[in-house]
Chain A
Amino acid sequence: MLRFIIRRIIMLIPVLFGLTVMMFIIARLLPGDPVALAAGPNATHEEIAALAAEFGMDQPMIVQYWTYASGLLQGDFGVSIFTRRPVLTDILTYLPATLELVFAAMALSIALGIPLGLMTAVYRNRWPDYLARVLALASISMPRFFLGLLLQLCFAMWLMTFPLGGRFPIIYEYPPFVTGFLTLDALIAGDLESFWLACRHLALPAIAMSLSPLATIMRMMRASTIEVLQHDYVTTARAVGLSQRRIVFKYVAKNAVSATLTVIGLYFGWLLGGTVLVETVFDWPGLGLYATQAIVAQDFMPVIGVALVIGLLFVLSNLVIDVLYGVINPKVRYA
């Protein structure tokens, strides 16, 4: 198991290398002159040249890449040409917000999607099944940002039960930084009021993000449960006197969940890279918002940095899923 994990981590290296090269090239193929943009509309040619020289942008691309890559190996993600802040510092500031949102959305969709999938399979072609399937189709079809707007309209404007946006009220003090997850930090500090505030801010964007993975997980779970229910061991379990509840939620669920795991892993990465719209709608200070601003300003270093981090997290999440396969299915473990 350990060797498997180590091997997978070693395989990360070429993936990340390829990612940096690709991002580096694409960033420089884009039209426009980022240095001129950063120098401002009134900058002279000399000032622009000086800025380019300062950031090494006047060097050949190969040299630029070499400088960047060697810095990367030392944990240096470069400096934003626009804000002159180190990219790594920025990413570490924004990443926890995005991770918190993605984790909350995934937790929600797993916690609801798996039992719903089991239930719809058991009640196959009866009304609970039809109802859940129609709702699932609707929530897959609905764009996330639009759903976000609807939620805002309904719960923030009309009912006024949830805040419109942001991560935490400006007038309150943030709980002391431990994990960067406001909800966790508040709990660690023992500050229940902050925890409650953070949860309420988290609720609407997390729901908006969770619906399509929830629907997909539910449908995957339904399909694999239907397949598992036809296995001989289910009949045997009934024949030896196990109750329907125990059979479905223990024996069938564990067998059916492995196909769903794949989807969960993919969705996790997909949500990480796709938070932009939801973060924009809810004014959520996360990586997506940060990356959009950098892209608009043609500020390359943050863009490459964000892509790297998301790529890394994506590969890691799939590694976790692969390890979980082994945990769930003992045959995979020994193979």
Chain B
Amino acid sequence: MSNPLLKIRNLHLSMHSFDGKAHVLNGINLEVKRNEIWGLVGETGCGKSLTGLSVSGLVSSPPAEYHGGEILFDGEDLLGCHEQRLLALRGNKIGMIFQDPTTNLNPVFTIGTQLVDVALAAGASDPQVLGLTVGASGRARRRAARALAGDMLDKVGIPNARARLDDYPHQFSGGMRQRVLIAMALIGRPDLLIADEPTTALDVSVQAQILDLLRQMVDEFRMGVILITHNLGVVAQTCSHVAVMYAGNVVESGPVRRVLEQPAHPYTRALMRAIPTRDVKRGALFGLAGSVPNLLSPPTGCRFAPRCALASPACHSALPADREVAPDHKVACVHVSAMKETSYA
């Protein structure tokens, strides 16, 4: 078993706001290895994006405050890292792509300029990115960076890539822009890619293309990926593993087939049941009663307990520990054994 690329252990994060202190991440545990694509799912506000941003060190504090846990990247604790070190990691070791391709490219620079700058920044931390030796001249670096930018655009499937380096973002379609952003994230050959809802803003056919491209890139660069999404369909289609989050906790995680076919946490089951199928009559969608708890004053114990049909006094008293119900399949619920008996319907 290889060492995990990324290991998030018991990560706690609070956000200070006008209304008080919200305990947003409540002990996140996650392990990502190379070649694994982890889907991070959960409803809005459950801390998916914050988890991703935390790995990149992009959560500004204040207002955020980390109080406990660690994020180990290749054995190095990122939370204790100096900004200078994070700068070297971003782009070179950890890449990120975001939700809305229309707002994530700078509108007043050509994509060539933007890609070249990223390539140069990556080359400054790791000269191998540009294929040059340490002492290469500035001009040689620029030329290599531009060549690399063209190659990357080509690789992410932009037709006529080299000529399009001189175009501005508004001259590309949404899907094409997301490809550009993927090229930008991958230009420094990161080991870990965090994709924060990369397909949410795209229409379905483009969505499939982008997911294909992502999978292809993972094979080629041997990356680990965290794919943050709302969409269980995307997870089923793309991911090797999935972690289900609820109100700042990972409630269930494991290999994607296992979790989606035999969900063991009541919340995961509720999520699965909410997906409409062909048999569901019009207007008869299954929902989940109640709403996400207010994190300014979260429930003690299991945060899902107030909405859970199985909730018992034990659920309200303490946060349930992770139980391994199958190899790598972990569930944070005290009713795991009871759930096992009521097979998933």
Q: Is residue A18 within 8 Å, beta carbon to beta carbon, of the partner chain?
A: no
Is the CB of A6 closer than 8 A to any CB of chain B?
Answer: no
**Is A12 part of the contact surface with B, judged by Cβ < 8 Å?**
no
- Is B345 positioned at the interface, with any CB of A under 8 Å from its CB? no
State the CA gap A243–B121 with chains docked (Å). Answer: 8
Chain A's closest residue to B91 (CB) is: A241
- In the bound complex, CA of A47 to CA of B58 (Å): 84
CB–CB B100/A243 < 8 A: no
Segment 205-252 of A: residues with Cβ below 8 Å from B: 231-233, 235-243, 246, 250-251
Which one, A231, A236, A242, A330, contacts B121 given CB within 8 A? A242
Is A331's CB within 8 Å of the partner chain B?
yes
A255 at interface by CB-CB < 8 Å:
yes
Tell whether, in the assembled complex, residue A241 and residue B125 are in contact, meaning their CB atoms are under 8 Å apart. yes
Is B118 at the interface (CB under 8 A from chain A)?
yes
Binary flags per residue of B92-135, CB closer than 8 Å to A gives 1, else 0: 10011010100111111100000001100110010000000000
B107 touches A240 (CB 8 A): no
Decide: A240 near B184, CB < 8 A? Known: A330-B168, A330-B170.
Answer: yes
Tell me if B56 counts as interface (CB < 8 A to partner A). Answer: yes
**By CB atoms of chain A within 10 A, which of B88, B100, B104 has the most?**
B104
- B108/A236 in contact, CB under 8 A: no
A21 at the interface (CB under 8 A from B): no
Encode A44-58 as 1/0 by CB contact (under 8 A) with B.
000000000000000
Minimum C-beta distance from A226 to chain B (A):
14
B208 lies within 8 A of chain A by Cβ: no
Contact of A233 among B95, B105, B118 (CB under 8 A): B105
B95 and A240 form a contact (CB under 8 A)? yes
Cα–Cα distance between A236 and B187 once the two chains are bound (Å): 14
Interface membership of chain B positions 30-66, coded 1 if the CB is closer than 8 angstroms to chain A and 0 otherwise: 0000000000000000000000000010100000000
CA distance A329 to B108 in the complex (A): 5
B109 x A254 contact (CB < 8 A)? yes
A241 to B86, CA, bound (A): 8
Which range contains the number of A residues in contact with the other chain?
A: 20 to 34
Contacting pair A254 B108 (CB below 8 A) = yes
Residue of A nearest to B110 (CB): A330
**Bound-state Cα–Cα, A239 to B194, Å:** 10
Alpha-carbon separation in the docked complex, A331 to B105 (Å): 14
* B108 engages A235 (CB within 8 Å): no
Question: A5 at interface (Cβ–Cβ under 8 A)?
Answer: no
Q: Does B90 contact A (CB under 8 A)?
A: yes
| Also in contact, A236 and B96, with CB within 8 A (given A241-B87, A255-B108) | yes
Q: Establish whether residues B107 and A255, one from each chain, have CB atoms under 8 Å apart when the complex forms.
A: yes
Name B181-195 residues within 8 Å CB distance of A: 181, 184-185, 187-188
Chain B residues whose C-beta falls within 8 Å of the C-beta of A231 in the assembled complex = 103
Shortest distance from the beta carbon of A73 to any chain B beta carbon, whole Å: 42
A225, chain B: closest CB distance, angstroms: 14
With an 8 Å Cβ cutoff, the count of chain B residues facing the other chain is 31
Residues of B within 8 A of A138 (CB): none
Given contacts A246-B121, A330-B168, contact A238 B90 (CB under 8 A): yes
A281, B214: Cα distance in complex, Å: 69
When the two chains form their complex, are residues B90 and A239 in contact, meaning their CB atoms are under 8 A apart?
yes
Q: Tell me the bound Cα distance from A243 to B96 in angstroms.
A: 15
Contact partners of B92 in chain A: CB under 8 A: 241
Beyond A232-B98, A331-B107, is A241–B90 a contact (Cβ under 8 Å)?
Answer: yes
CB closest chain-B residue, reference A237: B106
Q: Shortest CB–CB separation between residue B174 and chain A, in angstroms? A: 14
Report the minimal beta-carbon distance from A54 to chain B, rounded to whole angstroms: 60
Least CB distance from A5 to B in Å reads: 21
Chain A CB within 10 A, most for which of B56, B117, B121, B170: B117
Interface residues of A in 160-184 (CB under 8 A from B): none
Chain B neighbourhood of A254, CB < 8 A: 108-109
Task: Give B117's nearest chain A residue, CB to CB.
Answer: A242
Residues of the A chain whose Cβ atoms lie less than 8 Å from the Cβ of B125: 241
Q: Which of A238, A239, A251 contacts B106 (CB 8 A)?
A: A251
A131 beta carbon closer than 8 Å to chain B: no
| A137 interface residue (CB < 8 Å to B) | no
Contacts of A189 in B (CB 8 A): none
B90 touches A236 (CB 8 A): no
Bound-state CA distance A255–B107 (Å) is 8
A15 contacts B by Cβ under 8 Å:
no
The contact of A236 among B89, B98, B107, by CB within 8 Å, is: B98
Q: Complex: how many Å from CA A231 to CA B102?
A: 11
Closest B residue by C-beta to A251:
B106
- B58 A235 Cβ-Cβ under 8 A: yes
CA distance A243 to B87 in the complex (A): 7
Other-chain residue from B98, B168, B188 in contact with A241 (beta carbon distance below 8 A): B188
CB distance from B105 to the nearest CB of A (A): 6
Given contacts A241-B87, A241-B125, A331-B170, contact A236 B188 (CB under 8 A): no
Residues of B within 8 A of A246 (CB): 117, 121
Given A233-B103, A241-B89, A251-B109: 5 more A-B contacts, CB < 8 Å: A233-B104, A233-B106, A241-B90, A242-B118, A330-B107
5 A-B residue pairings within 8 Å (CB atoms): A232-B104, A235-B58, A240-B184, A242-B117, A328-B108
Interface set of B (CB-CB < 8 Å, partner A): 56, 58, 87-92, 95-96, 98, 100, 103-109, 117-118, 121-122, 125, 168, 170, 181, 184-185, 187-188
Interface residues of A (CB under 8 A from B): 231-233, 235-243, 246, 250-251, 254-255, 328-331
